[in-house]
Structure formats: structure tokens, C-alpha cells
Amino acid sequence: MTETRSNSISDRVLALAGLLQALAQVRRIADTGQANAEILTTSLDSVFRIDAASPSDVYGGASALRPGLTLLRDYFANRLPDPQLPRLALAVLQLERRFVQDEAMAGRVHEGILAHAGAARDQGSTHPDVMIALGDLYAETLSHLRPRVLVQGNPHYLGQATVVAEVRAVLLAAVRSAVLWRQLGGSFWDFAFSRKAMLDAANGLLR
């Protein structure tokens, strides 16, 4: 989903921040039916930046990831307020492994993103038609892989087709960040042996 290459721990931290930032919006949409418009734009724009020159450029600059960097810092400092976020992130990271191993599906997702890039450019990535298209793309591809990413929330909102489509669109953005993290050299060993380094990198990026 991207051509970007780097092995900087700061770049991997940016990708993880993008992942958490997207998933925090998934949780917000599922609970309230609404996203933060600015943060939603950052997440969905990243889906279409498949040829970005750097990890920072994927998100439109590191400053756009301050909410995600704050969540990541809080996670490594053991004070993350939402205990569901780490579970969702783990599910997405596991899903990413299955996704990249399925070359046919990866190709379908890539083609689907390119097919809707023009509409995203002309109407904006958060236009309802674009989000529905991305949600459909997720439903037709990634939702068939295991483990499934199960999102809990308010049944009133999760019973609405437009809300479900938005949740799926943002999950696609979360997977995009997971793919980027892995391409940058990220692995689950990071969480065992690089926690302090990633915390320091998150703090540095937040300054």
C-alpha cells in the first residue's frame, strides 16, 4: 500500500501513531456515530498517499499525528485511558500479516484505492461517497480474513449502514498504517525490546 522505505525508529513510531489515531476514531465513531473531522481526514488521506516520499508525508506531516503520538506515549507509559485500543491494534497488526501474504487480495485493495483516488482528490477523502466506497472495499476484502477485527460500540450507531461504512473505511486506514510500520522494519519484538526507545521517540516528536 506504499512505496516508502526507512528503518528509523521515529518513522516506525509515526506509523504506530497513525494506527492508534485511526483506531481511536473507529472507537469514537462506534460509540457516538461521529468522528473528529480533522483527524478523520488525516487517516483517510493516508490511504491514498501510496507513493509518499516519507512516512511523515503519508500523514501530511508529523504534526497531524499529535493525537496518535499522545496515545502511543500514554500506552508505553502504561496510562492509556481506553483498554480496548491495544486489543484493536493487536487485531489489526495480526490482520495485516494475513493481508500482505494474500497477493491477490493486496492487489484488489490497491486497485480499489486507485479507482477511488480521483473522487477523493476532487471531493475529499471524507466525502460520504468516498467513505462508502472504502468501506465496501474493506468489506469485500479484508473483512473475510481471520482474525476479524471486532469493533464494539453503541448498537444504535452500529446498526446504521453509513456508520458501519465509516468504521470500515477507517479500519482500512489503520491497516494502511500497519502495513507501513511493517515495511519500515517494525515487528512485535519492538514491543518487547524497544519500548523505551519508542517512548523517547514519541516524546521527541511531540516536542
Domain residue limits, the chain: 9-206
Identify the DSSP state of 173: H
Report pLDDT for 18. Answer: 98
pLDDT at 61: 97
Residues in the chain, pLDDT under 70: 1-7
pLDDT of residue 4: 45
Alpha carbon of 144 to those of 14, 25, 123: distances in Å?
28, 22, 29
CA angle 189, 82, 80 (to 5 degrees): 55
Rg (Cα) of the chain, in Å, rounded? Answer: 16
Continuous H helices in the chain: 9-32, 37-48, 55-58, 66-76, 84-101, 103-123, 128-140, 155-158, 161-183, 189-193, 195-206
Question: What is the model's pLDDT at position 81?
Answer: 87
Task: Output the pLDDT for position 3.
Answer: 43
Predicted local distance difference test score (pLDDT) of residue 187: 93
The CATH homologous superfamily to which domain 9-206 belongs is HflD-like (1.10.3890.10)
User: 460520504: which residue's cell?
Assistant: 128
Q: Are 72 and 13 in contact (CB under 8 A)?
A: yes
Residue 147, pLDDT score: 84
- Residue 192: predicted pLDDT: 87
Which pLDDT score is estimated for 152? Answer: 94
In angstroms, the CA 47 to CA 161 distance is: 21
pLDDT at 6: 46
Q: Please give the pLDDT value at position 1.
A: 55
Query: Grid coordinates 453509513 are at which residue?
Result: 162
